[in-house]
């Protein structure tokens, strides 16, 4: 554990940024564990939440862009989002509209929602606000619970 904390002291925020970014793009990663470890390791909780939120948001913007360009090969092969997931996300997006963007942090369907928003050419400024708010509250909740247990 000590070696991990020494490594985090040197590369913690950079590692958090990269992990959080990739977690919302092409790799099935989770950044929650690193957020918790950093909060428990007495990193600045506000900085941890901000870095994770911005990085995860930027990853979602990448997925939106891929969807908006209609790059089906990238969507199916590299992002590993199935046609079924895309259909579920599109139904969710059509049923709940813009509010579904607040839940892009959900595993299994969140990445697909961002791709669908791009495929449907949803207005980017609205996309950006709702996705960032959702990601921010998610990481704030994780950090809050980690710091109080």
- Domain containing 133 equals 2-147
pLDDT band, residue 123 (cuts 50/70/90): very high
pLDDT band, residue 6 (cuts 50/70/90): low
Euclidean distance between the first and the last CA atom of the chain, given in angstroms as a whole number: 19
Q: Which of 64, 58, 66 is nearest to 20 (CA)?
A: 58
Mean pLDDT of 38-51: 94
What's the structural domain count of the chain?
Answer: 1
Burial of 145 (0-12, 13-18, 19+ CB in 10 A): exposed
Distance CA 4, CA 24 (A): 24
Mean pLDDT of 1-17: 70
Distance CA 132, CA 108 (A): 18
Question: For the whole model, what pTM was predicted?
Answer: 0.85
What's the confidence (pLDDT) of residue 95?
85
DSSP symbol at 27: S
What's the confidence (pLDDT) of residue 44?
95
Q: What is the pLDDT of residues 96-116, one digit of tens each?
A: 888 889 988 887 678 888 888
Farthest-apart Cα atoms in the chain, separation: 48
């Amino acid at each position: 554990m000590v070696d991990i904390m020494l490594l985090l002291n040197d590369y913690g925020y950079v590692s958090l940024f990269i992990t959080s970014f990739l977690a919302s793009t092409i790799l099935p990663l989770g950044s929650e564990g690193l957020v918790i470890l950093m909060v428990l390791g007495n990193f600045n909780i506000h900085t941890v939440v901000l870095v994770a939120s911005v990085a995860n948001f930027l990853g979602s913007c990448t997925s939106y862009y891929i969807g908006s360009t209609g790059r089906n090969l990238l969507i199916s092969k590299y992002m590993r989002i199935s046609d079924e997931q895309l259909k579920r996300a599109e139904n969710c997006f059509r049923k709940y509209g813009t509010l579904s963007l607040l839940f892009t942090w959900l595993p299994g369907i969140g990445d697909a929602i961002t791709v669908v928003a791009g495929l449907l050419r949803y207005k980017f400024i609205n996309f950006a606000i709702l996705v960032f708010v959702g990601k921010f509250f998610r990481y704030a909740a994780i950090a809050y619970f980690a710091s109080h247990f």
